[in-house]
Amino acid sequence: MEELFEIWSYTILALYALVFCLSIIKFQSYRHTPLMILPIILFITLMAESLGMYFRDVLAAPNIGIFNTYYFFYFSLFYFLFMKVIEEQRFKKFIKIGIGIFWMFYLRDLIFIDILNESFTASYIAGAGILIFCITLYYISILQSSKVFVVKNDLLFWISVGLFLFYIGYLPIKIIRSWFYKENSFFWILLIIQFSLIVVMYLCFLIGFLWMKKRS
Give the pLDDT confidence of 171-192 residue by residue, as tens digits: 999 888 877 766 666 777 888 8
What does the pLDDT read at residue 182? 63
Q: Give DSSP secondary structure letters for 10-60.
A: HHHHHHHHHHHHHHHHTGGGTTTSGGGGHHHHHHHHHHHHHHHHIIIIIS-
* Residue at 39 is within a domain: yes
Specify the pTM. Answer: 0.92
* Residue at 165 is within a domain: yes
* Residue at 216 is within a domain: no
User: Rounded to whole angstroms, how far apart are CA atoms 119 and 93?
Assistant: 29
User: Rounded to whole angstroms, how far apart are CA atoms 144 and 61?
Assistant: 50
Residues of the chain with pLDDT under 50: 216
DSSP state of 216: -
* Residue at 59 is within a domain: yes
What does the pLDDT read at residue 175? 87
* Residue at 76 is within a domain: yes
* Residue at 48 is within a domain: yes
- Write the single-letter amino acid at 176: I
* Residue at 121 is within a domain: yes
User: Rounded to whole angstroms, how far apart are CA atoms 53 and 66?
Assistant: 10
- Per the structure, the complete domain to which residue 15 belongs is given by 2-211
What does the pLDDT read at residue 107? 98
Our count of domains for the chain comes to: 1
User: Rounded to whole angstroms, how far apart are CA atoms 143 and 124?
Assistant: 29
Give the pLDDT confidence of 8-25 residue by residue, as tens digits: 888 999 999 999 999 999
What does the pLDDT read at residue 147? 66
